[in-house]
Amino acid sequence: MKSKIIATAAILATLGFLHPHPALSQPAADGGPKPGFWQPQAQVDTTRNITLRLLNETGLNLEYGESSASLSSLPVGASRNIIVRISNRTGDIANIPINARAGSTTLKYDYNVDPQTNIVTIRITRSDSRTRQDRSVYIDEKGRVYSF
């Protein structure tokens, strides 16, 4: 009897894991914003190459990385352009980590998109650790730009 109860519980637990559940990081199915911490910050055109313009307004030396490259320096007050080339990928388009070089200073990214040129300007400033802490710029396959 005990083995039947354990087997039934194991089967139900397995079925619960196999049943798809929406992740918190997924946008709403209807495309509209829903309350929550994970909302797109901007939208880009994925049929054209994307330029990410990083502006360091933190007063700190930062480092950033491209999806398949090592970390690069972003000095105080500097700006850098990252070209995201569009291919026939069906997954994420880009994932660019940006962090303070020394220490654990929290950062905030503010976005401005020029739809004519497909340039995303990312103004990087210091953040109050109680409000927002951005560590990476992520662009998904539909051109939604997120901070996380």
State the DSSP string of 21-66: ---TTSPPTTSS--SSS---SEE--TTS-EEEEEEE-SSS-EEEE-
CB of 74 closer than 8 Å to CB of 123: no
The encoded tokens of residue 88 equal 């026939």
Instruction: Indicate the pTM of the whole model.
Output: 0.72
pLDDT value at residue 24? 45
pLDDT digit string, tens, across residues 96-119: 888 887 667 888 889 999 999 999
Residue of 98 and 37 predicted with greater confidence = 98
All domains of the chain in start order, with CATH: 36-147 (2.60.40.780)
